[in-house]
Amino acid sequence: MSPDLKQLRGSAAIAGVATFGCGEAHGFTEMELLVRSAHAAVAEAGLKMSDIDGLCTASVGATMWSMPVIEYLGIRPTYIDGTMIGGASFIAHLLPAMHALQSGQCKAVLVCYGSTQRTSTHGRREVAQARRWMDPQPYETPYEPFNPPSAYALAASRHMHQYGTTRRDLAEVAVAARAWARLNPEAFMREPLSIDDVLAARMVSDPLSVRDCCLVTDGGGAYVLVHSDRAPDLRQKPVYVLGNATAVWNRQISSMDDLTVTAATQSGRDAYAMAGLGAKDIDVVQLYDAFTINTLLFLEDLGFCSKGEAGAFVRNGGIAPGGHLPVNTNGGGLSCVHPGMYGIFALIEAVRQLRGDCGDRQVPRAMTAIAHGNGGTLSSQSTAVLGLAETL
């Protein structure tokens, strides 16, 4: 860890967060959901849109997405980051923005996203066809993996084979997420869900059933990042970025060295090193749960348990309300919201928990949080360690 990077610890704070249109947003475009979220996050921070001089965004469809977003918002940013590494993007946007704030390149960075994946009139099948041309994977596509589920199913098969993890262990993750969602009025799916319900659900790509897969919803999310010198003067209790790191090892699941070990081992190690904290110091955990296997892999790779032991870790409600570690307290991508890319929503929930804004699902005395993003098919990983002023 470079000493200069360590000096960035706590140098920036999240000053505003917002979501808009999570669930079903009939009649809205992706841009409109993004802009409503952005507007609300800026207002929550006590800023005006004209104060925003840094812009980070990414889109699954539009490769030059930062340009129409800047145009629509009517801003003239001096810092622009359109890094697109799938669902982890909006967590990976943190560290470069911290550099930009530290150097004075900009003063207030808006990170924003919107998706109408659920209600869009463009069929998912059509989009998948287009992506075959725009993002070719000539050594996987001919075998027709039903991706993303099949890639994660392959990883799950390997975890089960090596470590004796069971479908019941995977189901525990979905049931815990639902139990948290039942405490969150903004969650999309709030009906009771049992282990047996998950085990009996329609199979998609063995060993993953439809209840092992995330939701497909609409939704927008945004947050505002400012230099920590300025954060105490703004409207919200600041949430400081203590560490952030991003890692990519592969694009395709077939190019992954070990399907039970993700690049989160690298992003987690580096984010912890920057923060000077470890897993034992984290009070509340938000993990990108596109599939139930993700939560198991990231609990291990981020050091909450040893490799191979996540099945035992989540058993008997281990990560549900009242368990030994609060994980995905909004209900996660499995039960709260998952509009194409979920990372920004994991980060927003972490911020809300640290501020104490979470009502019935509030984790008492939470001072530190992890928000971990994943993208592609276990391809990109970005870990953020967040904390309140007391942790600086």
- Locate tokens 């984290």: which residue? 282
Instruction: Say whether residue 191 binds another protein (CB under 8 A).
Output: no
Instruction: Say whether residue 158 binds another protein (CB under 8 A).
Output: yes
Closer residue to another protein (CB): 60 or 160: 160
CB 281 within 8 A of CB 368: yes
Instruction: Say whether residue 196 binds another protein (CB under 8 A).
Output: no
Least Cβ distance, residue 211 to another protein (angstroms): 14
Least Cβ distance, residue 256 to another protein (angstroms): 8
Instruction: Say whether residue 115 binds another protein (CB under 8 A).
Output: no
Instruction: Say whether residue 142 binds another protein (CB under 8 A).
Output: yes
Instruction: Say whether residue 144 binds another protein (CB under 8 A).
Output: yes
Total residues found in the chain within this entry: 392
Instruction: Say whether residue 166 binds another protein (CB under 8 A).
Output: no
Binding letters toward another protein, positions 319-358, x by CB under 8 A: ----------------------------------------
- Angle, CA 17 vertex, CA 14 and CA 19 arms, to 5°: 155
Binding letters toward another protein, positions 252-271, x by CB under 8 A: xxxx---x------------
Instruction: Say whether residue 143 binds another protein (CB under 8 A).
Output: yes
Instruction: Say whether residue 153 binds another protein (CB under 8 A).
Output: yes
Return the bridge partners of 386, or none. Answer: 241, 369
How many whole angstroms separate alpha carbon 76 and alpha carbon 44?
21
Least Cβ distance, residue 178 to another protein (angstroms): 23
Instruction: Say whether residue 11 binds another protein (CB under 8 A).
Output: no
Binding to another protein (CB under 8 A) within 227-256 occurs at 252-255
Instruction: Say whether residue 293 binds another protein (CB under 8 A).
Output: no
With CB under 8 A as the contact rule, the residue among 83, 157, 166, 266 that binds another protein is 157
Closer residue to another protein (CB): 117 or 205: 205
Closer residue to another protein (CB): 169 or 349: 169
Instruction: Say whether residue 378 binds another protein (CB under 8 A).
Output: no
Size of the site for another protein (CB under 8 A): 27
Three-state SS annotation for the chain: CCHHHHHCCCCEEEEEEEEEEEECCCCCCHHHHHHHHHHHHHHHCCCCHHHCCEEEECCCCCCCCHHHHHHHHCCCCCEEECCCECECHHHHCHHHHHHHHHHCCCCEEEEEEEECCCCCCCCHHHHHHHHHHHCCCCCCHHHCCCCCHHHHHHHHHHHHHHHCCCHHHHHHHHHHHHHHHCCCCCCCCCCCCCHHHHHHCCEEECCEEHHHECCCCEEEEEEEEEECCCHHHCCCCCEEEEEEEEEECCCCHHHCCCCCCCCHHHHHHHHHHHHCCCHHHCCEEEECCCEHHHHHHHHHHCCCCCCCCHHHHHHHHCCCCCCCCCECCCCHHHHCCCCCCCHHHHHHHHHHHHHCCCHHHCCCCCCEEEEEEEECCCCEEEEEEEECHHHC
Least Cβ distance, residue 205 to another protein (angstroms): 5
Stretch that binds another protein, among 145-153, 282-290, 309-317, 322-330 (CB under 8 A): 145-153
With CB under 8 A as the contact rule, the residue among 3, 125, 134, 202 that binds another protein is 202
Closer residue to another protein (CB): 36 or 167: 167
Stretch that binds another protein, among 40-48, 144-152, 180-188, 228-236 (CB under 8 A): 144-152
Closer residue to another protein (CB): 62 or 249: 249
Q: Which residues contact 119 (CB under 8 A, 6 or more apart)?
A: 24, 25, 26, 218
Instruction: Say whether residue 205 binds another protein (CB under 8 A).
Output: yes
* Contact residues for another protein, defined by CB under 8 A: 138-140, 142-146, 150, 153-155, 157-158, 161, 202-208, 252-255, 259
